[in-house]
Structure 1
Amino acid sequence: MAEESTVPVPWITPSGRYARALGRAIDVALALVVLLAAQRYTGDYDLLLGALMALALLARRRRPVTVMAVVLTLALVQFLLYEPYAGTPPASAPAAYDVAVLFAMMSVVHHSRTAWTPYAAGGVVLLATAATAVGAPFLGIEPFTDGGTLLVCWGLTLTVWLTAFALLTRRLYAESQAARARHAEREQEQRVRLAAARERAEIARELHDVVAHSLAVMILQADGAGAVLRKSPDMAESALRTIAATGRDAIDDMHRIVRVLREGQPEAGSAGEDRRLVTLDEIEVVADRARTAGLTVDLSVDVAGGRLSPAEEMTAFRIVQECLTNVLRHAGAGAAVDIRVREEDGALLIDVTDDGAGALAGRASVGTSGGNGLVGMRERVELTGGAFEAGPRLGSGWHVRASIPVRTKR
C-alpha cells in the first residue's frame, strides 16, 4: 500500500500552524481514548497493548498504512494471549481499546492516495472481525463471539468506513477544485503574457512605421534642401515644408502610441479618439512625399469605396509606406517605384516594385536596415490570414507582394 501525506485543502481543512496544531490535538485525543479504555481491564498485557496502539495512532497521518498494520498486529497478539477459560486472562478479547483498529482504518481510508486502498482497509477489518466468530484453529484461537456481536462489529465498521470514505471523497473533490483553480490561474497568466507580447509587437510595428518612414523622408529632404539652398531657394523651402509636415505627423503618431502605453489598450468605443484612422487615400500623401524626396512613384489604387474595413485599409497603407521607406533607405533619390493596389476575387492585392536606382539589390544609400520592416509587414499580413512575399528582382531593385483577404464590408 502506498503511503503519501495529505495536502491541506482550503475551506475543507485548515492550513498552516493552526492546521498542524489541530491535527496533533486530534491524534492525541484518539490516543488518550484508546489508553483510557485499556486501563479498564485487569489483564497483564491489556495496558501495554493499549498503550502501544495509542502510541502508534500518533503517527496515523504520516504513515496511515504502517499504523494500521501495527495496530492489527497488536490486536492479533491480544487475541493470541486471550485465554477464555483462565480466571484472569493475560489479555482481554474483545476489548474496548480495540477501537484503535477502527481509528487506524479510518486514517487509511481518509488519507488514501490510491483507488484500492480504502477497500482493502475495510475488507481487512471485516475479515478480522469475522475471524473472532469462526476462530483460527491452526493458531489455537477458539471462536469467542456470537453472530449478534459480529453483526454489531460489522455495522460499526461499515459506519466508520462510510464516514471516512465520504471525507475522502470530499477531500479529493476539494483538491481537484483547487488544482482546477491553479490551472485556470496559470492559463489566465499565460493569456495575459501572450496579450502583452502581441501588444508589444503591435507597438513595435507602429513605432517602426512612424519613425523609419518619417526619418527617411526627413533625412532625404534635408539633404536635398542643403544641396539646393543657394541655387534654388524655392525648392529648399518646399523641402523644409515637407520636413515640417512629416515631423508633425510623426509627433502626432508618437503621442498616440505613448498615450496607449500610459493608459493601456483603448476601449472599443474610444477607438476614434485614441487611434488615428488611416485610409487608402493617405497612400497618395506618402507617395507625394516620396516624390518630393526624389523618387519617381507610379501609383494605382483600384478599390471601390467602402469595400474595406479600417483594419484592412491600415494594413495596406502601412505596407505601402514601409515599401517606400525601404526604397528611400536602400535605393535613395532617383529610384522608380511602381505601386499597384487592387481588389480581386475577394482579396486585396498589393504589388510594389522598384528599380533600385539602377544599383544591384542590397545596396543601401541611406543607412542600413536589420530587416525589421519586412518582418513587420509579414506579421501584419499573416495576422489577417493573407500571404506575403518579398525579395530582390533580377538585376536591380526589389519587389513586394501581399494578398489580404477582404472579409468585412461587402
Structure 2
Amino acid sequence: MDGPLFPADWWRVLLDLAIATAVATLAWQYPLSAPGTIAIGFGMALALLLRRRFPLLVMAVVYGLGLVQVATVGELQIYDVAVLVAFAAVVTHGALRHVYAVAGAVAAALVLIWFVDPNMGDPLVFGFVVALCAVVWSVSLVLRQRKEAAEAYAERALAAERERDHLVRLAAAAERATIARELHDVVAHSLAVMVVQADGATFVVEKDTARARTALRTIADVGRDALADMHRIVAVLRGDSEDVPPRRPGLDQLDVLAGRARSAGVVISLDVAADGIDAAEELTVVRLVQEALTNVLRHAGSGTSVEVLVRASDDEIEVSITDDGAGTPSSSGGGGNGLVGMRERVLLHGGRFEAGPSGAGWRVHAVLTRRVLQA
C-alpha cells in the first residue's frame, strides 16, 4: 500500500503507543506461571500499533487472539479491551462493508462469552459488557461520520479551487482574445490606410503637392488615432485603465472610415439605418466594416467600388460589405487573421458570418442577433 507506515500526526502516534503500552502493562500483571496469557496480551498490544494503517487486519489478529485466550482460560481478561480498541479502529477507519461484518463478529463473541465465561452469568456484568460495546460502536460511528464530513468538505473546497482556477484561465484566455482582436483592428486598419496613403503621396508628390499634403495629413491623423487606441489597450494590460477614458467607436465612426477609404482612392457607397442599437453592437458593426475596408485596401486597392450596408430590425442587425474587385491592390500584404476575428465577433452575438467571392470582387456578410431587453 502507498503512503507512510505510521500517520504523519505525531500526537496520534503517541496515542497509539500509549494504548499499546497500557494493554501490554495489563498483560504483564498476570503471573509468570501463565506465559500464554501474557504472550496473548503482548501480541494484542503489538497489533494495535498498526490499527490505523491496517484496521481490518489488526481486528482479525486481536479477535483471533481473544478467541484463543477465551478458549484456553475460559473467561475474559482485562486486556481483552484491545478487542474494543481494534473494533473502534475498523468502525472509524475501515471500509463500510467491513464495519457491519466486524459488528456481527463482536456480537457472536458476546454470545460465546455468555456461555463460556462463568462471570457472565451475572446479568449486570454481561449488561455492562454489552453496553460498553454499544458505546464504543456509537462513538466510533460518530467519529467516522465527522471524518467523512471533513473529507467531503475538503474535497469540495479543492474542487471549488480547481473550478475557480479554471474560470480564471478561461477569463484570461477570453481577455487575451479580446485584446488580440482590438490590436489587430487598430494596427491592421491603421497601417493599411497609412501604407496606401504613403504610396499615393509618393506618386503625386512632384505632380500634385496638394494631394500629397492631404495624404500626409491623413497618415498623421490615422497614426494619432492608432497611438491613442494603443495607449488604451496598453493601459488595460497594465491595470491602470481607469486613468484612461474609454473610446467606444459608434456608428458615426463609419463616416470616418469611409472618408479615409475615399482618400485612398476607394469609391464607397455607405447606407446605414441602424438606430437604437446598443454600444456593444455598434462596436461590432464598426469593427466589421473597418476590417472589411482594410481587406479592400490590401487586396483590391485604389479604384475599387464598395457598397456598405447596415440594417437593424427588432431581432437582427445585418452588415454587408461588397466590393467589385476592380482596383489596384496595394503592396501592404499581410493578413490572415481578419476573417477569423470578424467571425469571432459575430459568434459572440450569436449571429451568422459569411465571406467569399462575389463576382470579380469579395463580399462580407454578417447577421447579428440582437439582445432582447426585458421590460
Q: Deviations over 1:137-159 (max 9, x none)?
A: xxxxx766224332211110110
1:261 is matched with which residue? 237
**Partners in 2 of 1:165 and 1:204 — Cα distance?**
58
**Partners in 2 of 1:126 and 1:5 — Cα distance?**
33
After TM superposition, list the pairs within 5 Å mapping 1:174-189 onto structure 2: 174-189=150-165
Q: Deviations over 1:187-210 (max 9, x none)?
A: 000000000000000000000000
**Partners in 2 of 1:386 and 1:314 — Cα distance?**
15
1:152 is matched with which residue? 128
1:22 is matched with which residue? 11
1:110 is matched with which residue? 92
The percentage of aligned residue pairs carrying the same residue is: 47
User: What is the letter of the counterpart of residue 64 of structure 1?
Assistant: P
Q: Deviations over 1:251-295 (max 9, x none)?
A: 00000000000016x5xxx69x54202110110101110011111
**Partners in 2 of 1:176 and 1:274 — Cα distance?**
48
Range that drifts further, 213-222 or 343-352: 343-352
TM-score, with normalisation over the residues of structure 2?
0.93
**Partners in 2 of 1:106 and 1:226 — Cα distance?**
93
2:119–2:125: 8 Å Cα contact kept in structure 1? no
| Distance 1:364-1:231 versus aligned 2 partners, 3 A rule | closer
**Partners in 1 of 2:140 and 2:168 — Cα distance?**
42
User: What is the letter of the counterpart of residue 263 of structure 2?
Assistant: T
1:88 is matched with which residue? none
Match status 1:35 vs 2:35: no
Q: What is the SS of the residue equivalent to 2:96?
A: coil
Deviation at 1:36, TM superposition (A): 1.4
TM-score, with normalisation over the residues of structure 1?
0.85
User: What is the letter of the counterpart of residue 197 of structure 1?
Assistant: A
Q: What is the SS of the residue equivalent to 1:350?
A: strand
Deviation at 1:82, TM superposition (A): 1.6
RMSD after superposition: 2.2
Q: What is the SS of the residue equivalent to 1:145?
A: helix
Range that drifts further, 191-200 or 295-304: 295-304
| Structure (1 or 2) with the greater helix fraction | 2
Deviation at 1:4, TM superposition (A): 9.1
2:334 is matched with which residue? 368
**Partners in 2 of 1:5 and 1:123 — Cα distance?**
30
Match status 1:64 vs 2:55: yes
2:277 is matched with which residue? 308
After TM superposition, list the pairs within 5 Å mapping 1:309-348 onto structure 2: 309-348=278-317
**Partners in 2 of 1:295 and 1:40 — Cα distance?**
109
1:400 is matched with which residue? 364
**Partners in 1 of 2:146 and 2:229 — Cα distance?**
58
Range that drifts further, 287-296 or 339-348: 339-348
* Counterpart among 133, 148, 153 of residue 114 in structure 2: 133
1:330–1:368: 8 Å Cα contact kept in structure 2? no
Range that drifts further, 119-128 or 151-160: 119-128
Q: What is the SS of the residue equivalent to 2:356?
A: strand
After TM superposition, list the pairs within 5 Å mapping 1:177-216 onto structure 2: 177-216=153-192
**Partners in 1 of 2:252 and 2:295 — Cα distance?**
21
* Counterpart among 60, 68, 72 of residue 77 in structure 1: 68
2:196–2:330: 8 Å Cα contact kept in structure 1? no
1:49 is matched with which residue? 40
